[in-house]
Each structure stands twice: as structure tokens, then as C-alpha cells.
């Protein structure tokens, strides 16, 4: 009985605390991993009252029903895939979703459009960081940087001198899948390495000096490296399949800084195991963070933790953009970085 009374007391106190904090300021609900939000929170001015379900003892459903009935703005500070109809049904006043990502594949766009909910997103904020990461992964895979690090740490250098040779980056024929802002930034960087650039995208870009291939198979047949820079859509889902990888060839390298499911991951692992492609640098996976264990055993693969955007500078820029969008929204001005593609 005492335990039950204590619990009710704690719930009432936490409800009062939430209500007190939010008396004046516009409310913004936050859904997503608390650790991502906590890296941003210190940068936000004291202008909004952030509703954080993880601070409450209530279930998410109960929390939303209790506190978020008049909430108009929702912040998603990571790529989470749990924003389903059941959650949206608990948010009858919702008018805006701010996602801090550049990709919007985690949002059900037709449903949000149907419900009249606007979206603000990161736009091109991270393109340089993501392009830097793509080039970093490529150099790592070709020149065995991480594999060399493991070799040295395992004290194998003095005893086992037969470390494999790397492959040269300069002059490589690079195929970029998706020549948006990130793809362009990757191309610009690799031009500096004397690489020859080709690309695939929905349509040929005017005034672009790179060779265009209208399908990825043809692109792969003419390249030694594929760098995946496109968004994940129904059309691009598993667009990089076994046939494409076989066309890339035995020394071919795949870099993915876009979304895991653009590549058929099972087929990629099979191609890597059977040495039908040369290697891969992967920042993203089909299901994160539970990635296939087989990848851990492959020495021709460099793994990263969906971290291409995670620089101090990009987090500062992202916090600023979130605040600008919230300020615009709560003062009935146009959003600063609206997502228009739905
Ligand atoms: O993956 C990260 C993003 O879409 O911003």
C-alpha cells in the first residue's frame, strides 16, 4: 500500500513539475533518444518548454495523453522510425515536426501530408561533413588505415610483416549514386585527388562536367568505386544489388554514407565474403544499430556508427536551425528550412 502511495505521490509531483515548467513558454515535445537531445539542449535559449517523456514515469502513451494534447511542435533529434499513427493520434494539435536529419525516410510523408503537418529538416546543413566522411572511409578502405591500426595494436607489426598492400586513390574512376548536394561535395573533393567522376541520378544534371549513366548497373560497370549519396525512397531501396556489385568487380569498393537499405545488405555481405567486390566503407546499415555480425569478421570492411554528420560544428548549426524554425513557427513566419518534397 505504502509503495503504491509513494508511486502516486511521485506521479503527482512530476505532473505538477511538468505543468509549472511549462506555464509560459511555447511547448515542444521531444521524441527520440535522450542522449542526442541532451547534446543539443544546452545550446537552446530558454524560450521553449521541452516536454521530455523520458523524464516521466508514465508510459509514452499516457504521457502524451496527459501533457501533449495542445502541443503544436514536435522535435525529433535523430533518425527514429517509431513515429507511427498511434503516436500521431495522441497529438491532436500537432502542426509541425522538426527533424534534425537531412534524410526524411523515417517519416511517413503521405500520412503527415494527410494530417496537414509541416516538416522542417536539416536541408544541406551536413553536406560537407558527410562528404568528408565519405572520402575518409574511402581512403580508409583503400589504404587499410583501420586494418593497419588493428594490426599495430595487436603487436603484429614486428612479428608478421605480410600486411596486404593497399589500393591507390589518385586517378580512380568514381561513381556517385545520387548527385545532390552531398554527391557534389564528394565529387569536388575527389576531383582534388585526380579521380574521374561519373554519376547516376534520376535525371542528367545540366552544366555538370561528369559522365552521366541513367542506371546504376552501367555506372558500376564503368567505375572502380561506388559512393552512395542518394536518399532512401521506394525507387532507391536495394538499388545496389548483387548484379550491380558484380559489375563493379573484384577490386571494386562501395562507400555508403546515405541509408543502409539503398544496398541489399545480405547480397553485399555475400559479395564481400566471396571476394566478388574488394571492400566497403559503411556508415549506415539496414537495421541500426543491430548490424549483421558477419560484418565484424570482414577485414576489407570499415564500419562506422552512422556518424557522418556528428561534428561539433554541425551540432551547433543544427541547434541554431532548430531554434530558428521554432521561432519562425511560433511567430507565424515561414519556416527556415521547410521540407517541400511531399
Ligand atoms: O543520417 C543523417 C541525416 O539524414 O541527417
What length does the chain have?
A: 342
The x, y and z cell numbers of residue 17, run together, are 513539475
132 CA to centre of ligand 1 in angstroms: 14
Q: How large is the ipTM?
A: 0.97
Q: What is the pLDDT of residue 10?
A: 53
The x, y and z cell numbers of residue 96, run together, are 509541425
User: Is ligand 1 within 6 A of the CB of residue 101?
Assistant: yes
Using the structure block, give the residue that is written with the C-alpha cell 607489426.
157
Q: SS3 for 65?
A: helix
Ligand 1, atom 5: closest residue by C-alpha: 101
Measuring CA to CA, how many Å separate 322 from each of 26, 76, 138, 221, 336? Answer: 14, 10, 32, 42, 9
Q: How far apart are CA 216 and CA 278, in angstroms?
A: 18
pLDDT tens figures, 48-90: 999 999 999 999 999 999 999 999 999 999 877 779 999 999 9
User: Is ligand 1 within 6 A of the CB of residue 103?
Assistant: yes
10-residue mean pLDDT profile of the chain (342 residues): values are 55 52 82 86 91 95 97 91 91 97 95 97 98 98 97 93 93 98 98 98 96 98 98 97 98 98 98 98 96 96 97 94 97 98 90
Q: SS3 for 282?
A: strand
DSSP string computed for 139-173: HHHHHTHHHHHHHHHTT-TTT---PPP----TT-E
The pair phi, psi for residue 170, each rounded to 5°, is: -55, 135
Give the Cβ contact number of residue 23 at 10 Å. 7
Active site residues: 259, 288, 306
Q: What is the pLDDT of residue 240?
A: 98
Q: How far apart are CA 188 and CA 71, in angstroms?
A: 43
Q: What is the pLDDT of residue 23?
A: 58
Q: How far apart are CA 323 and CA 94, in angstroms?
A: 18
User: Is ligand 1 within 6 A of the CB of residue 71?
Assistant: no
Which of 112, 80, 78, 81 has its CA nearest to residue 97?
112
Are 278 and 198 in contact by the 8 Å Cβ rule? The answer is: no
User: Is ligand 1 within 6 A of the CB of residue 102?
Assistant: yes
Ligand 1, atom 2: closest residue by C-alpha: 101
38 CA to centre of ligand 1 in angstroms: 18
pLDDT tens figures, 162-179: 899 999 999 999 999 999
User: Is ligand 1 within 6 A of the CB of residue 318?
Assistant: no
190 CA to centre of ligand 1 in angstroms: 22
Are 125 and 324 in contact by the 8 Å Cβ rule? The answer is: no
245 CA to centre of ligand 1 in angstroms: 25
- For residue 126, which atom of ligand 1 is closest to its CA? 5
Amino acid at each position: 500500500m505504502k509503495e503504491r502511495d509513494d508511486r502516486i505521490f511521485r506521479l503527482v509531483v512530476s505532473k505538477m513539475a511538468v505543468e509549472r515548467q511549462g506555464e509560459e513558454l511555447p511547448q515542444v515535445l521531444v521524441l527520440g533518444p535522450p542522449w542526442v537531445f541532451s547534446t543539443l539542449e544546452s545550446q537552446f535559449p530558454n524560450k521553449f518548454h521541452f516536454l521530455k517523456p523520458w523524464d516521466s514515469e508514465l508510459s509514452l502513451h499516457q504521457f502524451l495523453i496527459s501533457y501533449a494534447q495542445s502541443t503544436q511542435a514536435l522535435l525529433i533529434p535523430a533518425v527514429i522510425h517509431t513515429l507511427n499513427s498511434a503516436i500521431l493520434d495522441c497529438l491532436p494539435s500537432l502542426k509541425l515536426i522538426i527533424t534534425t536529419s537531412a534524410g526524411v525516410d523515417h517519416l511517413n510523408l503521405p500520412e503527415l501530408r494527410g494530417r496537414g503537418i509541416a516538416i522542417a529538416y536539416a536541408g544541406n546543413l551536413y553536406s560537407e561533413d558527410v562528404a568528408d566522411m565519405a572520402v575518409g572511409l574511402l581512403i580508409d578502405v583503400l589504404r587499410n588505415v583501420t586494418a593497419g591500426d588493428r594490426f599495430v595494436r595487436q603487436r603484429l607489426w614486428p612479428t608478421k610483416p605480410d600486411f596486404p598492400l593497399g589500393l591507390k586513390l589518385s586517378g580512380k574512376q568514381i561513381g556517385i549514386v545520387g548527385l545532390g548536394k552531398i554527391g557534389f561535395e564528394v565529387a569536388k573533393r575527389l576531383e582534388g585527388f585526380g579521380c574521374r567522376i561519373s554519376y547516376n541520378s534520376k535525371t542528367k544534371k545540366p552544366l555538370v562536367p561528369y559522365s552521366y549513366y541513367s542506371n546504376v548497373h552501367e555506372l558500376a560497370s564503368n567505375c572502380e568505386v561506388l559512393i552512395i549519396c542518394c536518399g532512401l525512397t521506394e525507387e532507391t531501396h536495394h538499388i545496389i544489388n548483387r548484379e550491380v556489385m558484380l559489375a563493379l568487380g573484384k577490386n571494386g569498393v562501395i562507400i555508403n554514407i546515405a541509408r543502409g537499405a539503398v544496398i541489399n545488405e545480405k547480397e553485399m555481405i555475400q559479395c564481400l565474403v566471396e571476394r566478388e567486390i574488394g571492400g566497403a566503407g559503411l556508415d549506415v546499415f539496414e537495421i541500426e544499430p543491430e548490424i549483421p555480425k558477419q560484418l565484424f569478421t570482414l577485414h576489407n570492411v570499415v564500419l562506422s556508427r552512422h556518424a557522418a554528420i556528428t561534428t561539433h560544428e554541425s551540432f551547433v548549426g543544427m541547434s541554431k536551425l532548430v531554434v530558428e524554425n521554432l521561432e519562425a513557427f511560433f511567430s507565424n513566419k515561414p519556416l527556415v528550412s521547410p521540407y517541400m518534397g511531399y
